[in-house]
Structure 1
Amino acid sequence: MNEPLRIIFMGTPDFAVPALQHLLDSPDEVVAVICQPDRKKGRGKKLTPPPVKILAEKAGIPVLQPTAIRTEEFLDTLRNFAPDLIVVTAYGRILPGKLLDLPRLGTINVHGSLLPKYRGAAPI
């Protein structure tokens, strides 16, 4: 039997939760989750964690919430996880080539519509 893949998941909103849950239910290992920083929401402007962060913390997976994803320091942090694959679902930022090329098997993006016809952050 093959070794489980070491996966870094990148996503933030509710839309990304089913993809992360599917990976958590698979025989592969999600070694880290990267999502946008907590944001103030609602009338009281309460600091609220992204849905993906909530699921990752329940599963005991390390969560990274970088404010800058292009720094060598951040890329080194990702390299230390030794990922085979990065899976991206609604992360909310354009990812640099150095990050996309980091995992051994590459990076997969899950998009909510047909590309390129319905591209963009809110295509559906």
Structure 2
Amino acid sequence: MSILFGLLAVIIVLAIAYAMSNDRKNVNFIGIGVMLLAQVLTTWFMFMTPIGEAVINFISDIFNKLIEFGTEGVNFVLGGVTVEENASVFFFNVLLIIIFFSTILSVLTYLKVLPFIIKYLGWGNF
């Protein structure tokens, strides 16, 4: 049943995008179909094969390490302010980490690493 809801959601989003388009005659349906197929195949590969699981775990470990660095940076900047376990402090737990990641992306953009990655990973525009 959840697969049907997912398909229905994709159809609704595509219908809304088509309805709101200013130039409906030039919509590239083949490109949209190819990208949806690529997304389904990539998702299947990542979730149904041991290699895909290893890739997801590797990427997850990298981001977990970055979050640990961000948390240590927040503790350093704020002088070890402690937050109770049951308290939901959005500023400490979320916003400062978002600022940390935003800073990392800004530095990577300034060093021209991020544009390089985007240029060479995004070569397949249909």
Common fold: TM-score over 0.5: no
Return the index of the structure with the highest Cα Rg.
2
The TM-score range, normalised by the shorter chain, is under 0.3
Q: TM-score, normalised by structure 1?
A: 0.20
Which structure has the highest helix share of the two? 2
Bigger relative contact order, structure 1 or 2, given CA contacts below 8 A and separation 6+? 1
TM-score for both structures, normalised by structure 2: 0.20
